[in-house]
Amino acid sequence: MTTQNLLVELLVEELPPKALKKLGDAFAQSLWAALADLQLLENSTTSVSDQTYKAFASPRRLAVWIKDVKAQAADKPLEQKLMPVTVGLSPEGQATPALLKKLNALGVDTSQPETLVKKLQRVNDGKTEVLYYNSMVNGASLQQGLQSALEHALDKLPIPKVMQYQLHQQCELPGWSTVSFVRPAHGLIALYGNQLVAVTALGLSAGNSTHGHRFEASQHPVQIAHADAYEETMASRGAVIASFDARSLAMVRALREQAKQLGCRLDVEAAGLTDAQAEEALRHNELVQEVTALVERPTVMACQFEEEFLQVPMECLTLTMKANQKYFPLLKSDGQLSHRFLIVSNINPKNPSAVIGGNERVVRPRLADAKFFFDQDRKKSLESRVAGLDKVIYHNQLGTQGDRMLRVCAMAQALAKLLVQSGWTPSLKDTDLLVKHSVRAARLAKTDLLTEMVGEFPELQGVMGRYYAMNDGEDPCVSEAIADHYRPRFAGDELPRNDVGLVVAMADKLETLVGMFGIGNFPTGDRDPFALRRHALGVTRMLLDKALAVRVRSVLECAAVVFPAQVSAALDIDKLESFFQERLINLLEAEGKPVAHIMAVLAVDTADGWSQIKSRLDAVAEFANLPQSQALAAANKRISNILKKVDQPISADVDTTLLIESAEQQLHQQMRHIAPLANACLASGDYTGHLKMLAGLRDAVDQFFNDVMVNAEEAQIRKNRWALLKQLQAHMNQVADISRLAQ
């Protein structure tokens, strides 16, 4: 069967930029999948990477080009279950009225019932004999299939917010007056090769014309002669780069080229990447994607602002340029902000000076505001703002930000001491100095919330606190801790840079977690308004990455005591500890650790908390690859099951005079020989060596279970064998519960 390529385009008013990429991909994928389900594609099993379809999305259009589409789907057999034979046929084998009625409902000609009965198939379903009717169903035509697929694709679009609008009377199809869609739609194209497909959508009938760039298209409207000519025609006559990815790549290359000419680099571009790596990373940058969704053909221009504004912290300037104006700040070779910046225009005038001058005039008041806020804020010290925290409500059950600040201060003091007592060696060797700086940073950490700059740009909280603390002459450790106490803000974010920041960041997050759990504010489903999962994940990362040898429960108990009695009394600390363990499991799973290994390690309660969990997981992974591992895991599981059924205390000592079987004697001797060597490995932190050493017990363990009856009739012998197994279990399960590795 011959095939042709298909093009479908929906012309709309400007689509929401942050949703454009997702809308374009969803429209293309849904339409392709629906046609594949209808068997209208020549090869519906190939991947998107094989170019079976191509998505297009620009500010004013969603489109898709689909390869090798059939004009008519092949007929296919249809097997329909009717009813039990006893219901459909009389004792003489004649069709009953019930059967004829059912067949009529299916559109089957019943004028010759005797012939029809012979065509029916009898199938025994295990309970009774059932009648089936087999027929051939005509495949869908392209017009029918595309109409259905188009309606399905539009229904499934991830529209952020639907709007209603009235159709233009001349364009209105019968039955259409009001339309609900993401934006008003003005045109529909459906081309099969060079032939129109008569479909409708959103009150529009399909044609072969669209509109290009509002100002720079050479043709109005733009006629699309063939489905395969769409992308080239839109570029040459419509002045539109229809592909989101192609437009994004063209913009990224133009931005990078312009930056290089100015001796700078984009502030959103990571240093040290190859050109290909930088282009790929930039294409996925949030600002790049948003600007790609705002222009139909990007033109990059260089602008500048007065150098006096560079006295303002670069974070303030870059944020106002990117968030408010969608500009691209530039960094000089030393990493400092340049007074030059780039804009992306949707037009390409012969003389760009008016566009450049207009954008420079627009950004100047924004930067002047930032400078004014910065200058005004520095007139008051952070310390002078502390009292103002008492006027800011934090939570109606947990008091003000001032109350919260006092709790974080007390928590930071207790945490610093607890971590040092647990073996942590901070860079500040003087514990009293660590405590002093931690309490000071906790006292000032939230004061920048009361500044003009953070009031205008909430994203700068912490960042501005650092600058203002430096201006006030605070210790550098304190200044950095104020900025870092929000870290990590998201998955993959950096941890605090210094030890003071680590203590304050942990205290700040624990205050939120303990407080919210104490008043019953738990995350539910997708709802987590206080970002408790993120806070718990942040604390978990700090415990792991800094190898802090402290139990989570100890940290939580340390945090709970600073709260009012009614909050700490209501706190379910077991539930909160489990919440942390869930975050730990998710984090380790994301790093590729098998769940069975994670649960095996967590089953062993260690005094060093989670500090060695990754080393233990590495050891378990190596042990699991040993040929002896499954036999030993199964044996451990068997031991656990045996000892679990014992309803009396089991001695930890083995009486060698009661070891009467050679297999149990051999196991005991092997344990006495191997256990000291394995324990020496464990003491030195060589968890892999410990498990490998114990793997040498495999033969002795197998022989024991083959030759020895554990639950012997004589009580003394039975109890002695329990003690032997208890010793074996204790030796084996010091790094992880090996029984959990049994498959």
Q: Are 382 and 447 in contact (CB under 8 A)?
A: yes
CA–CA–CA angle 728, 732, 736 (5° rounding): 145
Q: Are 731 and 678 in contact (CB under 8 A)?
A: yes
Residue holding tokens 């209105």?
172
Torsion angle of C-alpha atoms 579, 581, 587, 593, degrees rounded to 10: -150
Closest listed residue to residue 661, CA positions, set 725, 710, 719: 710
Task: Output the pLDDT for position 52.
Answer: 87
Distance CA(398)–CA(516), nearest Å, equals: 9
Distance CA(95)–CA(88), nearest Å, equals: 6
Q: DSSP letters of 244-297?
A: HHHHHHHHHHHHHHHHHHTT-EETTSPTT--HHHHHHHHHT-HHHHHHHTT-SS
Instruction: Mark the ranges of the chain whose per-residue pLDDT is less than 50.
Output: 46-49
Distance CA(280)–CA(316), nearest Å, equals: 27
232: Cβ contacts below 8 Å, ≥ 6 apart:
none
Q: Are 1 and 189 in contact (CB under 8 A)?
A: no
Task: Output the pLDDT for position 176.
Answer: 65
**Where does 678-717 show beta strands of DSSP type E?**
none
Whether a cis peptide bond, with omega within 30° of 0, leads into 97 is no
Calculate the alpha carbon distances from 355 to 194, 233, 360 in Å.
40, 27, 9
**Where does 121-252 show beta strands of DSSP type E?**
121-124, 129-137, 163-166, 178-181, 185-192, 195-196, 200-201, 204-205, 209-210, 222-223
Q: DSSP letters of 477-501?
A: HHHHHHHHTT---STTPPPPSSHHH
How many Å is the Cα radius of gyration of the chain? 36
What letters, b where the CB count within 10 A reaches 16 and e where it falls short, cover 490-529?
A: eeeeeebebbbbbbbbbbbbbbbbbbbbbbebebeeeeee
Q: Are 187 and 207 in contact (CB under 8 A)?
A: yes
Closest listed residue to residue 315, CA positions, set 182, 190, 466: 466
First to last CA, the chain: 51
Backbone torsions φ then ψ of 265, nearest 5 degrees: -135, 160
State the amino acid at position 444 in one-letter form: L
Residue holding tokens 């990571």?
270
Q: Are 610 and 543 in contact (CB under 8 A)?
A: yes
Task: Output the pLDDT for position 137.
Answer: 63
Q: Give the 3-state secondary structure of residue 192.
A: strand
3: Cβ contacts below 8 Å, ≥ 6 apart:
42, 68, 69, 70, 71
Q: DSSP letters of 89-122?
A: B-TTSPBPHHHHHHHHHTT---SSHHHHHHH-EE
Distance CA(340)–CA(353), nearest Å, equals: 15
Residues facing residue 303 across a β-bridge? 341
Element (H, E) at 5: strand 3-12
Task: Output the pLDDT for position 151.
Answer: 92
In 20-66, which ranges are continuous DSSP H helix?
20-37
In 313-462, which ranges are continuous DSSP H helix?
314-319, 325, 353-377, 382-385, 401-421, 431-444, 452-456
State the amino acid at position 228 in one-letter form: D
Residue holding tokens 């009898």?
122
Domains recognised in the chain with CATH numbers: 3-73+141-236 (3.30.70), 76-137 (no CATH), 245-377 (no CATH), 388-592 (1.10.3210), 613-741 (1.10.730)
Burial tier of 114 (Cβ tally within 10 Å: 0-12, 13-18, 19+): exposed
Report CA torsion sign: 648, 649, 654, 655.
negative
Closest listed residue to residue 641, CA positions, set 711, 731, 720: 711
Task: Output the pLDDT for position 174.
Answer: 64
Distance CA(617)–CA(607), nearest Å, equals: 17
How far is Cα of residue 432 from the mean position of the Cα atoms in its chain?
Answer: 41
Task: Output the pLDDT for position 46.
Answer: 45
In 378-400, which ranges are continuous DSSP H helix?
382-385
Report CA torsion sign: 504, 510, 512, 518.
negative
Q: Are 557 and 418 in contact (CB under 8 A)?
A: no
Q: Are 482 and 489 in contact (CB under 8 A)?
A: no
Whether a cis peptide bond, with omega within 30° of 0, leads into 488 is yes
Residue holding tokens 């012997």?
712
Task: Output the pLDDT for position 391.
Answer: 95
DSSP H helix total and E strand total for the chain: 30, 20
Specify the pTM: 0.81
